[in-house]
Amino acid sequence: MNSSLIFLYGPSGSGKSTLGRLLAQNLGLSFFDLDAEIEQSSGMNIPQIFTSEGETGFRKREHAELQRLSALPEGVIALGGGALLDADSRARVEANGRVLLLDASADVLAARLRNDRNQRPLLASDTDRQLAKLLARRKEHYISFPAQLNTGALTPEQAAWQAQVQLGVFRVHTSPTSSYDVRVQCGGLDELGELLQQRGLKGPIVLVSDENVAPLYARRAMHALEQAGYETHLAIIPAGETHKTMNTVTSLWQAFLTAGVERSSTIVALGGGVTSDLAGFAAATYLRGVPWVAVPTSLLSMADASLGGKTGADLPQGKNLIGAFHAPRLVLADPQVLSSLPPAELRSGMGEVVKHGVISDPELFRLCPQALTEPAAMLEEIVRRAVAVKIRVIEADPYEQGWRAVLNLGHTIGHAVELVSGFKLRHGEAVSIGLVSETRLAEHIGLAQPGLSQQISIVLSSLGLPVEIPGDLDTDQILHAMGTDKKRAGGKVRFALPVKLGEARVGVEIENLRSIYEICFGLTRP
C-alpha cells in the first residue's frame, strides 16, 4: 500500500474535489479529478458520455481511467460517487493507496449540490429526491470503508487538515522553500525503501539503531531498503541516555567513513529519541551535513523527538548542550513497533502526548486514558493526533523564536524535578508532575479554568504517571533548578501555561515563585 497515493471517495457534494485540491497542495502532491480525466481522454463531457454510451459505457471508461491512476506512485485522486461500486476497481485502489470516504448529512449534500454548476447525469432532475434515493442505495457500500470523514461542519481547510490527521500524512514546511514529509502508518516500516526512493534519497545508507531496537527491527528495515536497491550498512549504538555522548557521535562518524558515506548519501535513524538525536546530529555535522531520515520507534520519539529538526548530544555538565537544527528528509512512524516498547517507556511517552492534548487537541486528551487499555486500537490514532499537534507548533515557529515555547508546557517544573531526582524520574514522569503543578500555578494566577489541574491529574494518574512532586525532593533545589536564583527575564521565570483544554499561552512571567511554591506545587504534601 502506498501512503502517498490518496483516493477521496464518497457521495456527490461531500467535498472530494475541493478538499482534494487543498490536500494535494498541503502535501506537495499532484491532484487528479477522475471525472475530468475521463472527459479529457474521451473528448466528451460526462453528460455526453451518458447520452451516447449510457451508464455502462461510462463505468467502463471510469474503470480504465482508474486503472491508470492507481498505478501512479503518488497523488491525490477525487473519485466519482460510484467509482468503487465495482469490486475489481475497489480492490485495486485499496491495494495501491489509501481511501478516505468523505460524507455529510443528506441536507448538507443537497445544499452543496444546489450551488454546484457541475452536471451530474444521475442527479440531473429533482436533485434532492434523486440524491436521497442514491444515498439509500449506496448506504451499505459507503459505510464499508474504514476511514471516514464527515465534512458537514468543516471549512475546506479544516477538512483537509482533518483528512491529513486521519490518514497520518503531513508535510512540515521549515521555510517557504523547504519541507519534509511525515507519515504515520501501521506497517510502514516495510515501505521504507520505497518512501526514500520517492524522495530521491541516495545510498549508501547507514541505518543507525540502538542495541535494543536493532535486534527487533533492523533486519526488516534493511530488507525494505535493499528491496528498493539501496546499499545498506548497519551501525548499532549502545542504548540509553547515558550514551547520548560525543563518544557515540564519534563512533557514528567513523561508521559513516567506513560505509563510504558521501554528501548525497542518507542516514536512517531507527530507534527512540536518543537514537534520532544522535544520528541526526552525526548527519548534521558529517561532511557539513548529510540527509537523514527518522524512523522513530518509541512513543516519545514519534510524538516529539523525531519532529522539528532538533538534533544533539549531552555533555557531562548537562543534557542537550551540543546540538544543531538539521531537519530530516522524512519521518516515518510505524505505530505497530510500539507493541515491543517496555510499558514504562510507553507510559513515559504518554506524558508528552497528554501535554499535546492539553496544548491544542481536547479529543486527543479524551482518548489518552485508553492508550494502555486498548493499545492496538488506540495508539495509531493517538500517535497521528499527537504528531499533528507538534507539526502545527513547529510550522508556526521552526527555529524556536516564540510559539514553540508552548511545547515547554509542564517542562519548567518537569525538568527541575527530573534533574533534582537525579534522573530517577523518567522524562515523561517528570513532565506529568510538571503539567499538574504548572496547571495549578495557572489556576492560582487566574489564567486557567478552576478544576483543570484536577482534570489533567486524573488522566495522567489513570496512565500510571506520578502527578505530585515526590516529598523527598528538596524545595530549594527545585527552585534553584528552575532558575529562580538567576536573573532570568529580569528576575522572573517564564512559563508556558494552559488556559483550558486545547488552549495554552507562552511567555507568562511569574515573579516570586518561592512564595507560591507550597500553594501551587505542594498542595498534597504532608
Ligand X SMILES: NC(=O)c1ccc[n+]([C@@H]2O[C@H](COP(=O)([O-])OP(=O)(O)OC[C@H]3O[C@@H](n4cnc5c(N)ncnc54)[C@H](O)[C@@H]3O)[C@@H](O)[C@H]2O)c1
In the complex, the residues that contact ligand X under the rule CB under 6 A are 210, 212-213, 216, 239-241, 244, 271-275, 277, 297-298, 300-301, 304-305, 308, 310, 319-320, 337-338, 340-341, 345, 427
Active-site hit among 408, 426, 429, 443: 408
Q: How far, in Å, CA of 408 to CA of 200, rounded?
A: 35
Read off the DSSP letter of residue 505.
E
Active-site hit among 92, 390, 426, 440: 390
Active site residue 355: no
Query: Closest approach of Cβ 334 to ligand X, in Å?
Result: 9
Closest CA to 520 of 458, 428, 418, 447: 447
Q: How far, in Å, CA of 314 to CA of 244, rounded?
A: 6
Residue 164, amino acid: Q
Query: Closest approach of Cβ 464 to ligand X, in Å?
Result: 16
Active site residue 381: no
Q: Which is nearer to ligand X, 62 or 345 (CB)?
A: 345
Query: Closest approach of Cβ 358 to ligand X, in Å?
Result: 16
Active site residue 211: no
- Do residues 331 and 306 lie in contact, with contact meaning Cβ atoms separated by under 8 Å? yes
Q: How far, in Å, CA of 411 to CA of 398, rounded?
A: 19
Q: Which region, left, alpha or beta, applies to residue 510 given φ > 0 means left and ψ of -120 to 50 means alpha?
A: beta
Active-site hit among 352, 380, 381, 429: 352
Q: Which is nearer to ligand X, 183 or 244 (CB)?
A: 244
Q: Which is nearer to ligand X, 75 or 312 (CB)?
A: 312
Active site residue 408: yes
**Whole-number Cα distances in Å, 116 to 7, 12, 66, 236:** 21, 10, 24, 58
At 403, list the grid cell: 510559539
Query: Closest approach of Cβ 173 to ligand X, in Å?
Result: 17
Active site residue 288: yes
Q: Which is nearer to ligand X, 82 or 273 (CB)?
A: 273
Residues 6+ apart with CB under 8 A from 263: 287, 288, 289, 290
Q: How far, in Å, CA of 301 to CA of 306, rounded?
A: 5
Q: Which is nearer to ligand X, 66 or 237 (CB)?
A: 237
Q: Which is nearer to ligand X, 102 or 393 (CB)?
A: 393
Active site residue 411: yes
Closest CA to 96 of 11, 163, 3: 3
Active site residue 352: yes
Report phi then psi at 499, rounded to 5: -105, -50
Active site residue 61: no
Which string of DSSP letters, residue by residue, matches 372-427?
A: TTSHHHHHHHHHHHHHHHHHHHHHH-TTSSSGGGGGGTTHHHHHHHHHHTTT-S-H
At 382, list the grid cell: 493517538
Q: Which is nearer to ligand X, 65 or 304 (CB)?
A: 304
Query: Closest approach of Cβ 394 to ligand X, in Å?
Result: 9
Active site residue 404: yes
Query: Closest approach of Cβ 256 to ligand X, in Å?
Result: 20
Alpha-helical (H) ranges within 115-176 are: 127-143, 156-167
Active site residue 363: no
Active-site hit among 411, 429, 438, 443: 411
Q: Which region, left, alpha or beta, applies to residue 9 given φ > 0 means left and ψ of -120 to 50 means alpha?
A: beta
Active-site hit among 400, 492, 494, 505: 400
Query: Closest approach of Cβ 302 to ligand X, in Å?
Result: 9
Q: Which residues carry out catalysis?
A: 288, 310, 352, 390, 400, 404, 408, 411, 415, 427
